[in-house]
Structure 1
Amino acid sequence: MTSRSTPSSTYRLQMRPEFGFRDAEQVVSYLGALGIGAVYVSPVLDATPGSTHGYDVTDPSRARPELGGEEGRLALADAVRAEGMGLVVDIVPNHMSVEVPSANPWWWSVLRDGSASPYAHHFDIDWSRERILVPVLGSADDLAALTVEGDELVYYDHRFPVSGSTEGTPQEVHDRQHYELVDWRRGNAELSYRRFFDITTLAAVTVERPEVFDDVHREVLRWVGDGDVTGLRVDHPDGLADPTAYVRRLREAAPDAWIVIEKILHPGEALPGSWPVEGTTGYDALGDVSGVLLDPAGEAAFTQLAARLGVPTDYAAVEEEARRLVTDSILVAEVRRIAALLQDVEVEAARAAVAETMIAFGVYRSYLPEVADEWAAAIVRATARRPDLGEALAALDEQVRADPAGELATRIQQTSGMVVAKGTEDTTFYRFTRFAALNEVGGSPDRWGVGVDEFHRLAAVRDAGSPATMTTLTTHDTKRSEDTRARMAVLAEVADEFAELVTDWHDRCGIDEPSLDLLAWQTLVGASPISDERLSDYLLKAAKEAKLRTTWTEPDEEFEQTVVSWPARVRAELGEEVDAFVKRITPAGWSNSLSAKLLQLAGPGVPDVYQGTELWDFSLVDPDNRREVDYDLRRELLDRFGEGLVPEIDRSGAAKMLVVHRVLTLRRDRPELFRGYTPLRADGPAAEHAVAFARSDDLVAVATRLPIGLERRGGWGTTSVPLPEGRWTDVITGAQVEGGDTALADVLDRYPVALLVKEGVSS
């Protein structure tokens, strides 16, 4: 579907106390001049004090004061409207933050009054339990540290409400409350409320209840009704009890808004057809674009390198092990709660069957009864893996299918996404590091790229079925930015050379954990130049996420110190060698970056530009990707484009910004040129190095792939691309070519990309 509020493009701004509504307001005119159709902001409802991302909402009834509050929000909305742009807001329906109880009035009420609170059923709490477990203690013995101050229980910096008398010892006061403070280990095993993934400070909200939906969305929907907000991005729908009912209710409440959902589609998966939304937030397009630029010839060399270094090469085995770690050690409370709903099955068999089924999911979750294929496939895979659980799995299957809207079916579907996300994205992707550029949200690291024909097929499907879906190359959740990924893609073209270098570097300066070691070398090269501090922070996070030598909860300090000191050690011992290699592959990385950007911006869907990535941006996973953006520099370059500057492709990144500016301005001003999708096939000796398509009779996009191979071949030679007769102008550089079998050497004379508009069509 396509809403009348569908923007021509979006630009993502990460709101935080250091970059609030007033700061966003200051960049609106720049974004309009850049060609952006809508400003797209991270969550702006009140959140945990000091939050740098806003997904930890504490009060959905007001704009966040730390960002500038209602006054700032209205000023931003007015500025966006005056520029003729839309405003898209990220919303979080699945959970709320309970990290600082006093900041969340609903949670404070629940802790104080228990099941008598008017918000008792706003959270997904197991009220059959005597008390709400709150995992905040360092150890069970820490209750001795409790004090009473006024009508609050205090544990260091944590404060909790007291219901009733404060007489007696702090321990006695605590024992009379509706909550029980426990340590994190007991919380993992016995938690009495549903959380977001394994984050106990994010408590799940029951938006499937109409009154809760209204309370959660009332303020944001008021903004939509007032015309201040034109689009909504929905965070994590897979955690909801009934995503289908949710998106239908949201559509009814915001019939004219552009709505996209953060649904992670695995290769081959599609959105349920009944969802009245424009599409996803674009990870599927990211995988297609990155995949078509990857050289399939590099797979064997990287597999051999991984094996030589001791890095696992059996992806399925690594993924199964990581998911089992999640079900057996991290989400124990969730597995137990689901298993208790399975009737007539022995307790341990029920727990094992539930865990095995979620481990076996090929996608995040099933959507019963509308989409039953994945549920059936998961049961089959689980049964094949654990035939000893055959009876328990059969009972689980039967009971889930008998009541697909019941609590058993609902909870296992909600939780499967947690197992997949934590087990695959947040664990496997840091253990299976054969080629890290493939380790991306929604991707499959064992699926080496996408062929040109498959890329065209997927783009045509997107154009026909979801032309208003968002497309992206970088988000706040990607494991690395688009430019880092684009340079890493070059490594597949020089796989043998890189493998030889890494083998030598590893022998001289390796990290004593194979998966992290191979990830480190790829990251060092892909994100260069990078400070020691940034690289240390990234590697430390990667090591903790891998959960092999250290973890967030049980750190190995000696190993972590080795990781933290590694960047400085490498710089001192191998710096010149690494820099020389990076210098050689950097131009090819720039080519890949420009090609990826053109394929995204000119292709089907609504392209999003993540903050700052209109210039080169070699960021890594959050929080690295939330660094400050220099908008003064970008404004200066934009002014120079207006004066006729067509920059060289160099370290400044100005060429990328020119591509973004020219393509998005054309999309905004001439949307009729971007309707339809027709593959164009190059002909000649270098045909495999071109990706070209027409969006209409008057618009053609051409991009370069595998630039190292193209250079080895000696360039385009006689390779041509078929253009309809007439004169065509590249809106990026201003160069002109004649139609017919047009030489790619002419089309791509200045840049490795071109967006051609037929003469007589105003640009």
Structure 2
Amino acid sequence: MSTPSSTYRVQLRPEFGFAEVAGIVDYLRGLGIGALYGSPMLDATPGSTHGYDVTDPTRARGELGGEEARKALSARLKDAGLGFVVDIVPNHMSVEVPKANQWWWDVLRNGQDSPYAAFFDIDWHRGRLLLPVLGDDNDELAVEGDELVYYDHRFPIAPGTGDGTPREVHARQHYELVGWRRGNRELNYRRFFDITNLAAVTVERPEVFAETHGEVLRWVSDGDVTGLRVDHPDGLADPGGYFRRLREGAPGAWLVAEKILHPGEALPQSWPVDGTTGYDALREITGVFVDPAAASVFTRLAAEQGVRTDYHAVEERARRLVTDGILVAEVHRIAALLQGVDADAARAAVAEVMIAFPVYRSYLPEGSGHWATAVARARKRRPELAPALDALDSQVRGAPACELATRIQQTSGMVVAKGTEDTTFYRFTRFAALNEVGGNPDRFGLSTGEFHTLAAGRAAAAPATMTTLTTHDTKRSEDTRARMAALSEVADEFAVAVRRWTAARGIDEPALNLLAWQTLVGAWPISPERLRDYLDKAAKEAKLRTSWTDHDEDFERSVAEWPSAVLGDADLAADVESFVKRVRGAGWANSLGQKLVQLAGPGVPDVYQGTELWDYSLVDPDNRREVDFAVRRSLLERIQAGETPEIDETGAAKLLVVHHALTLRRDRPELFTGYRPLQAEGVAAEHLLAFERGAGLTVAVTRLPVGLHRAGGWRDTALPLRAGEWTDVLTGRGVGDAPQASALFEQYPVALLVREDS
């Protein structure tokens, strides 16, 4: 197996392709990284900045440098002794530019006679392929040569159908161009969530799997790629079958699934994968740095400001918004498969079960308990639907591989994700540090005991799973989240400040207003432009006053003007900055603590590009900004020369922690096995989180630093260790085997200890 010691995620784009990534390989090697982990590298929509909109899975993306540049990057990684992990997208392909996707273009041209007609999940029984691209159904079209044209959109004309007016030509095609609003109601091809430009692929068909995965699996068999990260497996018809086929094609590769696990949920045991992409670890690591005592203060503040505080009610309403509007076409398609039930009752039953799912989806016959819970919740909420729900339950359980069971399970994940991550998390803004992918916002913090139990479980059950603190999909970066976590220790002060700031320049929507002040403090300093773009996205995702499809122009204008108004108000900006300084040091301590816990803890730690220094990014595309590797190289050289930097704005102290932890992990893998909780002794013991890996490595970090300082510091607190001489790798100092916390954390709020005889 090719399990790496760690990974470093890079976001490839036309300006930062294979050659540019090859140029940082020596830096990554010096940092201590075990493998490069790159965003999708197959041909994508022209100009794509993320690569998830694949148009041709049979070749390396030309805009990144093409096949030769890919091979050169692979050779460079091999020379440096680094693995190569590639992100793949099995669920969908981009059809935004039809001609860029030759399979889709052929389907549009030839309909069901196309050899690729079965490659896409299209319901041909409902007539022509519906393409919701027009502003209105009656918009004018044009014919240019053998193409039907609508502004910049071009579509093929079937052979022998090009005579007559544009409308007459259009009427003869295998597709129908309609107003974009009809898509949610009548779409007859499965898509990625609500994005009509991403058409779902029937990868469960062996021939489709072979065509879509042949190139990447060739990279694996050639030894160029050592690991695969699989995007959105919950959208697949048969995730377990998919992973078994993928494992057959890549028997020695490290495989991780982008699967969001709810608290207490485990990966299906039949999946032959090494683990998840780490959102479960993110939730737990963030949680242990949040003070649970602040829950009541933030709840009161939110309620007082007019923000809903009944999380599950907010979540249910948001999910219902998805089933009744955003994904109503999918609900109708599933309901049509339910036999013996009135159409209206069938649609209501299907929607209610998906709304009620306690996790993203089930994988029947595995996960039958989650399915049963969803049906039971639906019965309780809508008792009048009992006959329809009984029929649905019976038909799904009776034939778990049938189309009805398949579609409702793969769609439930979309309902949960759109309803919870992309809506609820922007409405339930009580304490946004918890509103993260895979997060549990209604649970305020995590005790050290709970954390240890979960970490020990990961060490025992999934030692090769990925762990992360920041990804391209997180709602905010790890350092933004760490500073926001510090707000839980000054909750009363923050509540007073929010009241004062809101009175001066509040946003006229309570949930967005509370989120905006938390974001401003968490990401400070931030430009008006970055904050404006973030709040615009947040407002539209919340779907309270405006949305991506139904705009309130006046409200959007007021939100767009808010950042400049706040930052341009000298007194208010100074007040906010003063508060940031109040929590900045605690935020830094949290950042270092959670990073060391991740890097040295169970699992394979990933470092998202640039986050080896402080990074106060927000949700995409903010987190895809260019990374200054020259600055990072310079700081790393100083650290490699022996410098132990101060904790300051440069973030060099974080780079020190990343470098030493990852280098030790790569060079001494025998130290990073197992997991044993350690308990400090003394009056401040609860502020010290510590654990042992193997018998010769101990991790110790500070938690809740504001409360620690307020209570008088470490005082008599000590950390008993196994007998022997221990050295802090970060500082090079010996600490003995029963160090006082005050001495242990004299220079940094974290320590990475190695026993000399190990």
Per-residue CA distance 1:243-284 (angstroms, 9 max, x = gap): 010001100110000000000001110001111100000000
Cα shift at 1:77: 0.4
- Secondary structure of the 2:516 match is helix
Aligned equivalent of 1:290:
286
Cα shift at 1:141: 2.0
Cα shift at 1:642: 1.8
Cα shift at 1:760: 3.3
**Aligned match of 2:125 in 115, 124, 128?**
128
- Secondary structure of the 1:113 match is helix
- Secondary structure of the 1:551 match is coil
Aligned equivalent of 1:153:
148
The amino acid across from 2:535 in the alignment is: L
Aligned equivalent of 2:244:
248
In the alignment, the residues of structure 2 paired with residue 187 and residue 480 of structure 1 have an alpha-carbon distance, to the nearest angstrom, of 31
Counterpart contact for 2:283–2:440, Cα < 8 Å: no
1:528 aligns to 2:545 (yes or no) = no
- Structure 1 residues 447-456 or 228-237, which shifts more? 447-456
Counterpart contact for 2:229–2:255, Cα < 8 Å: yes
In the alignment, the residues of structure 1 paired with residue 558 and residue 534 of structure 2 have an alpha-carbon distance, to the nearest angstrom, of 14
In the alignment, the residues of structure 2 paired with residue 386 and residue 206 of structure 1 have an alpha-carbon distance, to the nearest angstrom, of 34
1:590 aligns to 2:598 (yes or no) = no
Counterpart contact for 2:680–2:718, Cα < 8 Å: yes
In the alignment, the residues of structure 2 paired with residue 439 and residue 186 of structure 1 have an alpha-carbon distance, to the nearest angstrom, of 32
In the alignment, the residues of structure 2 paired with residue 26 and residue 584 of structure 1 have an alpha-carbon distance, to the nearest angstrom, of 40
**Aligned match of 1:546 in 535, 539, 542?**
542
- Secondary structure of the 1:307 match is helix
In the alignment, the residues of structure 1 paired with residue 343 and residue 126 of structure 2 have an alpha-carbon distance, to the nearest angstrom, of 18
Give the number of equivalent residue pairs.
755
Cα shift at 1:722: 1.1
**Aligned match of 2:70 in 61, 73, 88?**
73
- Secondary structure of the 1:756 match is strand
Per-residue CA distance 1:70-113 (angstroms, 9 max, x = gap): 01100110111100000000000000000000000110010000
Aligned equivalent of 1:12:
9
Per-residue CA distance 1:704-748 (angstroms, 9 max, x = gap): 100000111221111011111221111111121111x32111211
- Secondary structure of the 2:568 match is helix
**Aligned match of 1:461 in 457, 461, 465?**
457
Within 5 Å, which residues of 2 pair with 1:678-717? 678-717=676-715
1:569 aligns to 2:576 (yes or no) = no
Cα shift at 1:184: 1.7
Within 5 Å, which residues of 2 pair with 1:357-506? 357-506=353-502
Within 5 Å, which residues of 2 pair with 1:170-209? 170-209=166-205
The amino acid across from 1:313 in the alignment is: T
Cα shift at 1:183: 1.1
The amino acid across from 2:610 in the alignment is: G
**Aligned match of 1:117 in 111, 114, 124?**
114
In the alignment, the residues of structure 2 paired with residue 565 and residue 498 of structure 1 have an alpha-carbon distance, to the nearest angstrom, of 24
In the alignment, the residues of structure 1 paired with residue 325 and residue 185 of structure 2 have an alpha-carbon distance, to the nearest angstrom, of 8
In the alignment, the residues of structure 2 paired with residue 186 and residue 673 of structure 1 have an alpha-carbon distance, to the nearest angstrom, of 58
In the alignment, the residues of structure 2 paired with residue 277 and residue 478 of structure 1 have an alpha-carbon distance, to the nearest angstrom, of 22
- Secondary structure of the 1:118 match is coil
**Identity over aligned residues, as a percent?**
70
In the alignment, the residues of structure 1 paired with residue 15 and residue 549 of structure 2 have an alpha-carbon distance, to the nearest angstrom, of 29
Counterpart contact for 2:478–2:591, Cα < 8 Å: yes
Counterpart contact for 2:60–2:66, Cα < 8 Å: yes
Superposition misfits of 4+ residues, deviation over 2 angstroms: none
In the alignment, the residues of structure 2 paired with residue 229 and residue 493 of structure 1 have an alpha-carbon distance, to the nearest angstrom, of 45
The amino acid across from 1:160 in the alignment is: F
**Aligned match of 2:327 in 325, 331, 339?**
331
Instruction: Give unmatched runs, 5+ long, in structure 2.
Output: none
- Secondary structure of the 1:754 match is strand
In the alignment, the residues of structure 1 paired with residue 366 and residue 423 of structure 2 have an alpha-carbon distance, to the nearest angstrom, of 30
In the alignment, the residues of structure 2 paired with residue 643 and residue 271 of structure 1 have an alpha-carbon distance, to the nearest angstrom, of 43
Cα shift at 1:176: 0.3
Aligned equivalent of 2:613:
615
User: Structure 2-normalised TM-score?
Assistant: 0.99
**Aligned match of 2:51 in 39, 43, 54?**
54
- Secondary structure of the 1:58 match is strand
In the alignment, the residues of structure 1 paired with residue 640 and residue 318 of structure 2 have an alpha-carbon distance, to the nearest angstrom, of 52
1:96 aligns to 2:93 (yes or no) = yes
Cα shift at 1:572: 2.6
Aligned equivalent of 1:277:
273
In the alignment, the residues of structure 1 paired with residue 592 and residue 640 of structure 2 have an alpha-carbon distance, to the nearest angstrom, of 20
- Structure 1 residues 158-167 or 308-317, which shifts more? 158-167
In the alignment, the residues of structure 2 paired with residue 627 and residue 620 of structure 1 have an alpha-carbon distance, to the nearest angstrom, of 10
Per-residue CA distance 1:645-696 (angstroms, 9 max, x = gap): 1000000000000000000000000000000100000110000101000001
- Secondary structure of the 1:492 match is helix
Cα shift at 1:400: 0.3
Cα shift at 1:488: 0.1
**Aligned match of 1:627 in 625, 628, 638?**
625
The amino acid across from 1:686 in the alignment is: A
In the alignment, the residues of structure 2 paired with residue 520 and residue 226 of structure 1 have an alpha-carbon distance, to the nearest angstrom, of 49
In the alignment, the residues of structure 2 paired with residue 272 and residue 747 of structure 1 have an alpha-carbon distance, to the nearest angstrom, of 42
Counterpart contact for 2:459–2:603, Cα < 8 Å: yes
Counterpart contact for 2:96–2:198, Cα < 8 Å: yes
1:344 aligns to 2:332 (yes or no) = no
CA RMSD of aligned residues (A): 0.6
The amino acid across from 1:33 in the alignment is: G
Aligned equivalent of 2:157:
162
Counterpart contact for 2:724–2:757, Cα < 8 Å: no
In the alignment, the residues of structure 1 paired with residue 440 and residue 241 of structure 2 have an alpha-carbon distance, to the nearest angstrom, of 29
The amino acid across from 2:249 in the alignment is: A
The amino acid across from 2:405 in the alignment is: A
